[in-house]
């Protein structure tokens, strides 16, 4: 049962907001990223130059940053938010700073996330709020808690402050009626994160989905965990809400498992991850779970539209959201939105230096020209050709 109004091949709609000049710049960037050796050397070079405090911010800002981020501040993002909104797509303002370890940074980051929640309540062009727990608390501390290690008094107090911040952000989202996603991170801190989010879902999802946890389907245990969470939500009477993703830390996860000689938590191959992801979609649709599907995979996105039709769920249902990252897979986002589905795009923002880990992950993801992401380049070229004709 295919949605006849939906075609991911409509490049004129996908790139309607981009000028020919912007498309040419994208073509250039994706071509460079598509050569794995070049991407590798490029990432290494940028990392080294940044460490040496070389003034390369300007170059990064007009290339990678411009492609994948909304701006350095909330205000700078408004242009993109309005552009996406014209295409029926909502923005998810993602303050993408990573790697902070100081208390003053956590406090400052939480304040900026608060501003994104407040904006979400005011501006209909904002779909969800979002945050990473490691932007408001120490990853090392989360890991200690996961390992049930003894905490010093200072650490116990720091953990209380993390819990307070999470509660405060979720409570604010609840009071302002803004849905809030909490990202999933590395497996060695994720159990702690899962426990913290579960407490928030119990408290704020009593009547409807406000707090969304994230499940990474590249993990062998995720399907089982999803089923377990559903059981729990039934018994405890809260609305289960999940963002489903495949997972962004595969290399890191495998390397660490090898180094520390424990079995990798990640599926052995891509097919197993793909199957688990689609099974999770089906489980959510059939079990009344609020879902946000974060994926650039055409088949998974199509499969979700198929599941919705099969289960008589209207395209605009509040139970199901599609989400992609800004700068990627516009052909999926814009064409889903045109067919009436709820579509949002993560719009990362923050100081150039602090969003570099996010940008490196995107460059890594796009470096295989032969893989799913090589498609990006093909579509940009198709649209350029179409405009020339």
Ligand X SMILES: Cc1cc2nc3c(=O)[nH]c(=O)nc-3n(C[C@H](O)[C@H](O)[C@H](O)COP(=O)(O)OP(=O)(O)OC[C@H]3O[C@@H](n4cnc5c(N)ncnc54)[C@H](O)[C@@H]3O)c2cc1C
Give the residues lining the site for ligand X (CB under 6 A): 183-184, 214, 216, 218, 245-250, 266-267, 269-270, 273, 294-297, 323-325, 346, 372
Tokens of 347: 């719009």
Residue 244 bridge partners (DSSP): 215, 293
The CA–CA distances, whole Å, from 109 to 113, 216, 235, 361 equal 6, 24, 35, 21
Closest distance to ligand X from the beta carbon of 217 (Å): 8
Rg (CA), the chain: 20
Name the residue nearer to ligand X (CB basis): 179 or 246.
246
Q: What angle do CA 159, 163, 169 make, to 5 degrees?
A: 145
Tokens of 381: 């070229």
Report d(CA 362, CA 367) in Å as an integer. 9
Closest distance to ligand X from the beta carbon of 322 (Å): 9
What dihedral do alpha carbons 304, 309, 314, 320 form, nearest 10°?
-20
Name the residue nearer to ligand X (CB basis): 10 or 372.
372
DSSP 269: S
Q: Specify burial of residue 210 (Cβ count, 10 A radius: 0-12, 13-18, 19+).
A: buried
Name the residue nearer to ligand X (CB basis): 57 or 256.
256
Name the residue nearer to ligand X (CB basis): 103 or 318.
318
The CA–CA distances, whole Å, from 257 to 134, 270, 377 equal 21, 18, 34
Name the residue nearer to ligand X (CB basis): 162 or 250.
250
Whether 185 and 132 have beta carbons less than 8 Å apart is answered as yes
Name the residue nearer to ligand X (CB basis): 243 or 338.
243
Residue 347 bridge partners (DSSP): 93
- For residue 9, the SS3 value is coil
- For residue 353, the SS3 value is coil
Name the residue nearer to ligand X (CB basis): 24 or 299.
299
Tokens of 68: 């994948």
């Amino acid at each position: 049962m295919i949605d006849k109004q939906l075609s991911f091949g409509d490049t004129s709609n996908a790139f309607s907001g981009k000028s020919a000049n912007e498309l040419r710049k994208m073509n250039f960037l994706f071509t460079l990223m598509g050569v794995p050796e070049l991407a590798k050397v490029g990432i290494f070079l940028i990392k080294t130059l940044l460490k040496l405090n070389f003034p390369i911010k300007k170059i990064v800002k007009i290339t990678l940053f411009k492609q994948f981020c909304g701006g350095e501040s909330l205000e700078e993002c408004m242009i993109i938010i309005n552009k996406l909104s014209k295409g029926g797509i909502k923005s998810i303002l993602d303050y993408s700073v990573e790697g902070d370890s100081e208390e003053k940074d956590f406090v400052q980051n939480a304040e900026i996330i608060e501003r994104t929640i407040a904006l979400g309540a005011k501006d209909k062009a904002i779909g969800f709020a979002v945050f990473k727990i490691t932007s408001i608390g120490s990853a090392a501390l989360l890991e200690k808690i996961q390992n049930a290690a003894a905490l010093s008094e200072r650490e116990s107090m720091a953990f209380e402050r993390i819990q307070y911040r999470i509660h405060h952000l979720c409570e604010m989202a609840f009071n302002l009626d803004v849905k809030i996603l909490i990202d999933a991170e590395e497996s060695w801190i994720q159990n702690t994160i899962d426990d913290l989010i579960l407490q928030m879902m119990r408290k704020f999802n009593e009547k409807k989905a406000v707090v969304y946890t994230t499940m990474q389907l590249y993990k062998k245990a995720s399907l089982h965990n999803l089923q377990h969470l559903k059981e729990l939500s039934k018994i405890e009477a809260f609305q289960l809400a999940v963002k489903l993703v495949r997972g962004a830390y595969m290399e890191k996860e495998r390397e660490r498992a090898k180094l520390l000689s424990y079995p990798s938590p990640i599926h052995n191959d891509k097919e197993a991850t793909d199957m688990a992801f689609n099974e999770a979609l089906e489980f959510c649709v059939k079990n009344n779970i609020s879902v946000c599907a974060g994926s650039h995979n055409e088949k998974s996105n199509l499969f979700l539209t198929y599941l919705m039709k099969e289960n008589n769920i209207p395209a605009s249902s509040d139970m199901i959201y599609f989400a992609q990252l800004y700068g990627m897979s516009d052909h999926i986002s814009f064409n889903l939105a045109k067919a009436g589905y709820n579509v949002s795009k993560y719009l990362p923002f923050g100081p150039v230096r602090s969003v570099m880990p996010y940008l490196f992950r995107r460059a890594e993801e796009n470096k295989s020209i032969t893989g799913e992401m090589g498609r990006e380049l093909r579509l940009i070229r198709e649209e350029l050709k179409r405009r020339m004709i």
